[in-house]
Structure 1
Amino acid sequence: MIMHHWGNDVRFHEQARENNPYVYTGDSPANEVMHDRLVQISRYVDEAIVQDYEVYPYVERYYKKVHVVPIAIDLEPFTPVFPKKDVRRPLILHAPTNPDFKGTLVIEAAIKQLEKSYDFQYLRIEKMNHEEAVKLFSEADIIVDQIRCGSHGLFSVEAMACGKPVIAYIRDDLALKFPPELPIVNANPDNVADRIKFLLENPETRSELGMRGRAYAEKYHDKKVVVDTLERIYEQLPS
């Protein structure tokens, strides 16, 4: 057997704040609950999978081995539509699926401030099914994901698969753990307005990042690529 952890199920509160002053852990259980669960699971399961090195430290002491396997998606539904360089009113999207965790209040305060000086559209992806959201992706010029966690999530991967530039927060101490061609524009609550402003002012960069994002999704997050990694992990598990 192998266990797969995703983040909030194991994000110990104080530990998360050691390297990240912005992180929100209100959706994680109490430390004691997470510890007890991990102790119980690791009695029977020797190895675990996490999606990145932000999650890795929370579980490494409980398992004999922890594998880092990127988020996998089916690229088929995501047709890349790269941002046009001559668009008159860029469209910015944000999905506040968990506003506190993602930093929605700060993001939307930055949007409101920038609206005073720039002509663009802003839409929240909410109250729609996934198929509708993906259709909206194709119209976007900039996508803002989560700016508090310290790593990107599934929304960022889907946005890159659609050929869109993505803004998210990647912790400085984790940046080198990702592939060097990660095209995400790094932003935290202190500078997200400046990062959005930069993309608004640079349409050629938006287009370039969109193309790099699609290539990144194909190379690291395509389910056909990730499944090979999973098979190798399963094959070496003790019988």
Structure 2
Amino acid sequence: MEKIALITGATSGIGEATALKLAGNGFDIIITGRRQERLNVLKNTLEENGSHVLALCFDVRDEEGVNAALGNLPPEWQSVDVLVNNAGLAAGLEPVQQGDSLDWNRMIDTNVKGLLYVTRCISQGMISRKKGHVINIGSIAGKEVYPNGNVYCATKHAVDALTKGMRFDLLPHNIKVTQICPGAVETEFSLVRFHGDKHRADKVYEGYECLVAHDIAECIWFAVSRPPHVNINDMVVMPTAQASASVFHKI
């Protein structure tokens, strides 16, 4: 087997693009997600291009499901070299006094607890092998806040803090820890945030050239491809037309 990368939330957007990018650079790929049909399509695409692929369907919010899937990997898939904690979402865009607790729980359980469940499981093998690379997909929302982004911003601030904490914890075990923080990327992100309202979601990306998933996959590959003594701690990546989480130059 080649080096192995495990990517959560691989059924669309940044996760899918990252799977394609790493597979194209010689990695065997473990893809995870909640949508079996999409996992099957991506698995077939990767295999047609010559990659070895293991597809696992589970929800990172489900601690037992994570442990069952990742704690019982086939022997040939257990030596995960790169973990990309990509699974995450925003749900809703309301002031805190009008927030929906279902949205809050969904974001906290996915963006924070899901990342923890997966990392705990996979890092055990990295520690025993004294090598590995954990890449957390954060956000510009983890560096600053914006109106009505309250809980989403809080979860991504948590990812920022967890990434720094992981770096201390995993340092003695020769494990790299990287955070990639995108600005506006046109994926399913806004469609999910607005609960399927495509008209509202499309408006987020009007009037400027936003990032696409491939742009972030390129950044992930750059971090992964550095020599063993080099770690990219933190990378903030935004469109040229974006100056902060909420300031854009739109035409």
TM-score of the alignment, normalized to the shorter chain, above 0.5 = no
Structure with the bigger RCO (C-alpha within 8 Å, sep 6+) is 1
Query: How high is the TM-score relative to the length of structure 1?
Result: 0.32
By percentage of residues, which structure has more strand?
A: 2
By percentage of residues, which structure has more helix?
A: 2
Query: How high is the TM-score relative to the length of structure 2?
Result: 0.31
